[in-house]
A and B are shown apart, each in its own frame.
Chain A
Amino acid sequence: MTTELDPLIHVPTRLRIVATLAALPDGDALSFTRLQDMLALTPGNLIIQLRKLEDAGYISSTKTRNGSSQKTMLALTGQGRAALGAYTRALRDLLGGLDGDGRAVAADRS
């Protein structure tokens, strides 16, 4: 049973980024500006978090140039999807072991 939460994903902003990109079909990418609008983040904050996720191989970014404007497209990698899946399973395991007040539930209730 995996109960260790991936510290790279277990940060509110990065969790929102990964969850948002995971909602897209496999292989599809989202533009930086749309992601920024959806999460209501400043460009600086978003760039910092994206860099950490990209360094870990969880997301990939592609830059395309159209005339004078540049567009950055972001996608969750297979590794990123697997990491989110493992994170979700770990959350389930942890929540299954907590009672309503968040205290650890004893394995033997008798």
Chain B
Amino acid sequence: MDHIPDTAGTTEGGGFDPRQAAALLDQATTQARRTFTPLTPLLWIFRALVALVVFGGFWLSVRGQHPYAGRLSGWAIGVAVVLVVINIGWSAAVIMHAGDGVSGPAQRKWRAWLGVMAAAWIIAYVVTAPLYHATASHPVWGLYPGSAPLLIIGLAAAATAAAFRYWPMVGTTAAFAVVAATAGFGGPVGEWLITGIGLCAVCLGTAAFTAWRQNRSVVRP
């Protein structure tokens, strides 16, 4: 990139030609967008891998069960717990970094949305424990954990994101709900694989879209 002289306080823009100004405007805007974006493309790529590994692992651990019992193997649960904890920690770190020093109505709205999402995740997955405890029938126990929580979370997230006018997030979370609804048709075993592949695709798409939004030119739309 061309060297852009910092003429502030000296020549007040003298010798600062329009092409340099356009390059600087794009550079500063891109840098600011990257700094203020709470969910980065890299995080979405990691989430895509998490979805593929976690749900793919669940599929591998249940596909040989005849009849289907819904018992996930210990290694699959262990890998899932580790990856989910890393995902939560990384997400929290980037969200806090993006919001550091920022205040205002949009920031407060974003925090409220995150609170709603955390509650939706907890409620949707906590229900699986009483279902298991109550020895729910195979169709219920087989289909609920793989599809239903994601469907509930996806729809709740899409509705609240629409209320808050986070349009790209509406697209991503509605796609989660579509994946969950479609996965249900794969049966108790196949739903894990369909969910893994579907979520991976949605996360990769979101990563690509986020990167495009961050890097698009202000001057040359």
Query: Which chain A residues have a beta carbon within 8 Å of chain B's beta carbons?
Result: 5, 7, 10-16, 19-20, 22-31, 33-35, 38, 45, 48-49, 73, 75, 88, 91-92, 94-95, 98, 102
Contacts and interface: CB of A to CB of B under 8 A. Distances in A.
Contacts of A31: 101-103
A47 B54 CA distance: 50
Interface residues of B, number: 34
Which 6 residue pairs are nearest across A and B when measured between Cβ atoms? A34-B101, A28-B104, A23-B32, A13-B8, A25-B106, A31-B101
Nearest to A7: B13
A24 B104 contact: yes
B76 to A, nearest CB: 40
B16 A10 contact: yes
Please report whether the interface of chain A is mostly helix, strand, loop or mixed according to DSSP.
Answer: helix
A26 B101 CA distance: 16
Contact of B16 (A11, A22, A95): A11
Contact of B18 (A5, A30, A38): A5
Interface in B2-18: 4-9, 12-13, 16-18
Contact of A102 (B12, B17, B103, B220): B17
A30 B101 contact: yes
Contacts of A19: 24-25, 28-29, 32, 218
Contacts of A94: 18
A66 to B, nearest CB: 12
B24 A16 contact: yes
A91 B22 contact: yes
B99 to A, nearest CB: 10
A27 B105 contact: yes
A92 B13 CA distance: 18
